[in-house]
């Protein structure tokens, strides 16, 4: 009887230890195990609580911009760390829905400079810095544009100070520049797709999982419902652009 009781104590003890290890990183586990719907991955959503929260005006250039709650919490910590170094981070753009991205894309699509261009040529030119609706990381609520939408801003003065801080510290809070300089390393690490964006920072603890699910769920045929969508397939939007990250 005594042996049975001892065995029971050992089994319960082992179970407890196993639980402790299993819960070592509950936040990451929870994030990684979420399943995102096709609509979430394509931005066909209304970002709202409880999954999303509004970025406070102390961190943003305008009211009403949203991020996933976990992303906003991490960003607030990054923002605080920046302030401690007298660096000011301002979100210019957070979550963008499919229809928001569609309005950006179609405004560019009808620019007078494209008179006489083929659809493929137009799409390729717009794709230098803008995503096709349904293929933007901004749909996911994980990515932010910071301070300025011009690379030059980050190359001198105040902007350089901001960029130095982000390069040094953003990853400590989960944020990474995904659209890096192309061909930065002549031997490896080259990437396709968008040009460099020093302003665009992505919260990879969630975005990496969303990209994984995007790749297994979405095809070029799902990128549809806007002017020029027909070129998504021949431009291999998912391979060359959605996955054209560092
Ligand atoms: Zn961006």
Residue among 160, 72, 90, 151 at smallest CA distance from 168 = 160
Q: Please give the Cα distance from 79 to 229 (Å, whole number).
A: 37
% of the chain beyond a pLDDT of 70:
84
Q: What global pTM score does this model have?
A: 0.85
**12 lies in a domain?**
no
Distance 201 CA to ligand 1 centre (A): 7
pLDDT band at 246 (very low <50, low <70, confident <90, very high): confident
Range of the domain at 215: 34-242
Give me the CATH number covering residue 227.
3.30.1380.10
Distance 146 CA to ligand 1 centre (A): 8
Q: What angle do CA 36, 145, 135 make, to 5 degrees?
A: 40
**7 lies in a domain?**
no
**9 lies in a domain?**
no
For residue range 147-192, list pLDDT tens digits in order: 999 999 999 999 999 999 999 999 999 999 999 998 776 555 678 9
Distance 177 CA to ligand 1 centre (A): 10
The pLDDT score that the predictor gives to residue 95 is 98
Residue 98 has pLDDT above 60, yes or no: yes
Distance 232 CA to ligand 1 centre (A): 19
Q: Please give the Cα distance from 78 to 146 (Å, whole number).
A: 12
Are 178 and 203 in contact, with CB atoms under 8 Å apart?
Answer: no
Residue-wise burial string across 139-170, b where 16 or more C-beta atoms lie within 10 A, e elsewhere = bbbbbbbbbbeebebbeeeebebbbebbeeeb
Q: How far is CA 142 from CA 94, 95, 121, 198, in A?
A: 8, 7, 30, 16
> Across the strands, what pairs with 93?
145
Distance 138 CA to ligand 1 centre (A): 6
Distance 21 CA to ligand 1 centre (A): 37
Q: Please give the Cα distance from 92 to 89 (Å, whole number).
A: 9
| CA distance between the termini of the chain | 62
Count up the domains in the chain and report the number.
1
> Across the strands, what pairs with 53?
67
Distance 225 CA to ligand 1 centre (A): 21
Distance 23 CA to ligand 1 centre (A): 34
Q: How far is CA 179 from CA 144, 235, 246, in A?
A: 12, 18, 6
**28 lies in a domain?**
no
What is the residue whose two structure tokens read 């229809």?
99
For residue range 27-63, list pLDDT tens digits in order: 444 555 689 999 999 999 999 999 999 999 999 999 9
**4 lies in a domain?**
no
Distance 200 CA to ligand 1 centre (A): 5
Distance 16 CA to ligand 1 centre (A): 45
Question: Coil, helix or strand for 146?
Answer: strand
The pLDDT score that the predictor gives to residue 189 is 61
């Amino acid at each position: 009887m005594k042996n049975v009781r001892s065995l029971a104590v050992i089994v319960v003890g082992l179970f407890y230890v196993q639980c402790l290890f299993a819960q070592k990183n509950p936040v990451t586990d929870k994030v990684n195990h979420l399943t995102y719907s096709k609509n979430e991955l394509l931005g066909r959503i209304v970002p709202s609580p409880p999954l999303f929260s509004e970025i406070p005006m102390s961190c943003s250039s305008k009211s009403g911009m949203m991020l996933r709650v976990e992303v906003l919490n991490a960003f607030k910590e990054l923002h605080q760390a920046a302030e401690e170094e007298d660096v000011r981070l301002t979100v210019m753009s957070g979550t963008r829905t499919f229809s928001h991205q569609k309005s950006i894309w179609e405004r560019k699509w009808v620019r007078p400079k494209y008179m006489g261009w083929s659809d493929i040529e137009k799409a390729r030119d717009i794709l230098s810095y803008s995503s096709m609706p349904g293929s933007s990381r901004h749909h996911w609520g994980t990515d932010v544009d910071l301070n300025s939408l011009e690379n030059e801003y980050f190359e001198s003065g105040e902007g350089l100070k901001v960029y130095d801080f982000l390069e040094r510290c953003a990853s400590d809070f989960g944020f990474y520049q995904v659209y890096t300089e192309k061909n930065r390393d002549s031997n490896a690490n080259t990437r396709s797709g968008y040009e460099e964006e020093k302003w665009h920072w992505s919260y990879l603890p969630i975005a990496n999982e969303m990209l994984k699910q995007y790749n297994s769920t979405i095809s070029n045929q799902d990128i549809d419902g806007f002017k020029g969508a027909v070129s998504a397939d021949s431009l291999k939007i998912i391979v060359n652009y959605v996955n054209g990250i560092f």
